[in-house]
Structure 1
Amino acid sequence: MHNTKRLHYLDTWRLIAVLLVIFHHIGNYSELGRWINPELALHLPRLGKFGVLIFFCISGFVICKGLINEQSLSKVSMTGFYLRRGLRIIPPLFLYLAVVAILSILSVIQVSFGQLVRSAMFVCNFHQLGSCSWFGGHTWSLAFEEQFYLIFPVFFTIFYLTKSPRLLLYTLSGFTLCSLVFYITDWPTISDYLTTFSYMLAGCACALYWSRLQTFIRNLPLIIWVLSVIVMFTLVGFFPLSKRYETIMYITIMPPLICTVVLGTPVSNHFIRYFFENRFFSYLGKISYVIYLWQQLATANYPVLSPWWTLIFTTAVFPFAYLSYEYLERPLIQFGARRTIQIHRRRPP
């Protein structure tokens, strides 16, 4: 009931996003990174951040699109929503953290119990609570997403956003303005929090105005979209900006730009469709969550090992992600979908 037709090109964008994160980690943190051109390495952190922002846009869009579809058919089930999200996110994460804990007990890596707990509780985006270590630090992005999932469905149903989509645009504008004010007045932590939510809200806005966005993109010359992609990658990865102006760019320009360009990919064009709806790329994007979890272990700095082990470990992540998705994630996703249908059927007409 909750499923919408899967947009396979978004899975390819997920693959691009996780590859950007992997390149950043290998280039800036692993032993293999010593052989990367220093000039290129300077740009990798921004590209890695860009990858995570793509994830945020897609997450906001997919969640909102599912809620819109569910509401159009009957009524949004909060129980079903949180059940599906929990089964999708928590088991793969806990499996990863369990392996990290075992490796720590065996003295292969160093992670404290508190760091594991913070990762498991989705609070690694609150730096005031302490470090989550390298091996759990990447769960900061999951923390933002889970906190968004807790709040947004309630907001969606209370204000019935399918009937009043402009309210979301006002909310997004308010988040952007407040984030900018907090940044200028030297409250960067609050600014970062609001900015991150802005990317997911921008994805939601694209979902609410989906038919209009599709029509707009379809009527644009392909060269406009291609140039937009080039501008987007140039701005986030290579355009020289001071830290202050770069942050202002991420607050104001990038949420609508990234979400519109990514979500509005013109797959009606044969050449664009050939790449973005490639079944292999799309499948790798579908399993990108597990790839994202385990690449952190693979790309860590292991000084006692040959740098080539980083490449071996990273390559091994992909077949492992396949096994995890097929034998852990997919069955749980299907179970969550069945339970949601049962919840809807038990509701009085």
Structure 2
Amino acid sequence: MGDSTINLPAGLQRPGFRALDGLRGVSIAIVIIAHTFTPFLGSNYAGLIGVYVFFVISGFLITTLLLKERLQYGSISLKGFYIRRCLRILPVAYGFLLVLICLNYIFRLAIPGRSFITCFLFIKNLPVLQNFDWYTGHFWSLGVEEQFYLLFPILLVTLSVRNYKRLIVCLIVILPILSYIHTKKLDTDVPGFIYDAISWVVNLFGGGTVLILTGSLFSILLLTQNRFITFVNDKAPAISSLLLFIVSSILLYPTLPATVRLFSVPVFGFIVAFVIILNLKEEAIFGRLLEYGWMKKLGVLSYSLYIWQQLFTYKQPWHHAGKNGWLLLLNLATLLIVAILSYSLYEKKFLNYKKRFKRV
């Protein structure tokens, strides 16, 4: 299976990707609802569902765009890729952090300087460096994505598609096993230096990387016309993607044993990747729902909403809404206004500039 076997299905030949903005809209809505009602839910189970869907989308989308670029131009411009990623991620993230530094001083939020440093460097996800506070807590997911962007596009350029696929399949299989060993702390069965090595691998690639790799894998399987993927895509009924999305959320339920959830995360990723692929078909019921205008608009705003929501959901610097329904609604309405202004007046300027480096 070499690079010459890459083909673009009809659903990927258009500039945009059908239903992906709508799926982002669903994901950010789940995150915001989960963070708003954190005191009542007692866990962030629902929020993880939204973030994990974002991970799968990222892996699928980035890999597809890079392979489309290789197919069209014969090569991938890493310089162009990193410029586009910087223009997409950094302005809003750093803008939020600068605002938060001011709020930290004004409202005496006691956010330590170490938190800001780990956020600016996108290493908030590494447990050895974590200093958790609510207001920067969501930067752990940005750390996971940025570290993926730093390494795996280089591997995709360096390796053949076949060898890249083999590598990420190995990682998808091995990482949950290493996470299990790390969680169980099998020091008596594993030599100390090996356990230390496992800890570093889990800290660096755990907590979401498997899901991004799963999205990347399914992009390759779709573009290389894998027989099983093609069969499922052709034969699955129109309702299947909606049913799969509902089923996937059960796999992360917090009452499941922790060991089970270590291995249920990759399965969740596989199911969501199938959802993405099935939604590319025009007849997919879930895909049609996600194509509604307001769902797509919510998806377009999803990054700004995700970055700013930490100020308006569970804890607000200016007050704690708690169980006051009106204050909760006021904060959510303010969040929407801030996200719209952030996107329209700030983020969009960088996105327009980003188009100068767009190849596909």
Shorter chain as normaliser: what TM range?
Answer: 0.7 to 0.9
Q: CA RMSD in A?
A: 2.8
- Structure 1 distance, partners of 2:283, 2:159, is 37
- Structure 1 distance, partners of 2:58, 2:313, is 24
Structure 1 residue 80: deviation in Å?
A: 0.7
321, 332, 335: which one aligns with 2:350 = 332
- Structure 2 distance, partners of 1:92, 1:294, is 9
Change (3 A) 1:182 1:114: closer
- Give the total of aligned pairs: 327
- Structure 2 distance, partners of 1:226, 1:301, is 33
Structure 1 unaligned residues grouped into runs of 5+ = 34-40, 345-349
| Greater displacement, 207-216 / 153-162 | 207-216
3-state secondary structure, aligned to 1:241: coil
Q: Which amino acid aligns with 1:24?
A: A
* Contact 2:241/2:284 (<8 A) preserved: no
Alignment pair present for 1:73 and 2:58: no
What is the match of residue 268 of structure 1?
282
Structure 1 residue 282: deviation in Å?
A: 0.8
* Contact 2:115/2:136 (<8 A) preserved: yes
Alignment pair present for 1:194 and 2:209: no
3-state secondary structure, aligned to 1:142: helix
- Structure 1 distance, partners of 2:119, 2:182, is 27
3-state secondary structure, aligned to 2:252: helix
Give the percent of matched residue pairs that are identical in Structure 1 and Structure 2. 24
Structure 2 unaligned residues grouped into runs of 5+ = 1-12, 187-197
Measured against aligned partners, the alpha-carbon deviations of 1:110-138 in whole angstroms (never above 9, x if no partner) come to 32333212111111112322414211111
- Structure 2 distance, partners of 1:174, 1:118, is 27
* Contact 1:17/1:52 (<8 A) preserved: yes
* Contact 1:4/1:66 (<8 A) preserved: no
What is the match of residue 249 of structure 1?
264
Matches within 5 A, 1:40-55: 41-42=41-42, 45-55=44-54
What is the match of residue 148 of structure 1?
148
What is the match of residue 347 of structure 1?
none
* Contact 1:172/1:201 (<8 A) preserved: yes
Matches within 5 A, 1:1-349: 5-29=15-39, 33=40, 41-42=41-42, 45-74=44-73, 75-107=75-107, 109-161=109-161, 165-185=165-185, 190-191=201-202, 193-194=205-206, 196-211=208-223, 212=225, 213=229, 216-237=232-253, 240-250=255-265, 252-265=266-279, 267-269=281-283, 271-302=285-316, 304-306=319-321, 307=324, 308-339=326-357
- Structure 1 distance, partners of 2:176, 2:246, is 24
Structure 1 residue 177: deviation in Å?
A: 4.2
Q: Which amino acid aligns with 2:20?
A: L
Change (3 A) 1:94 1:288: same
- Structure 1 distance, partners of 2:281, 2:219, is 17
Q: Which amino acid aligns with 1:247?
A: L
Q: Give TM-score, length-normalised by structure 2.
A: 0.81
Measured against aligned partners, the alpha-carbon deviations of 1:207-237 in whole angstroms (never above 9, x if no partner) come to 1122544663232123444432332123334
* Contact 1:119/1:137 (<8 A) preserved: no
| Greater displacement, 73-82 / 160-169 | 160-169
* Contact 1:9/1:267 (<8 A) preserved: no
Higher helix share: 1
- Structure 1 distance, partners of 2:116, 2:163, is 42
Q: Which amino acid aligns with 1:244?
A: T
| Greater displacement, 277-286 / 106-115 | 106-115
- Structure 2 distance, partners of 1:197, 1:69, is 22
* Contact 1:8/1:282 (<8 A) preserved: no
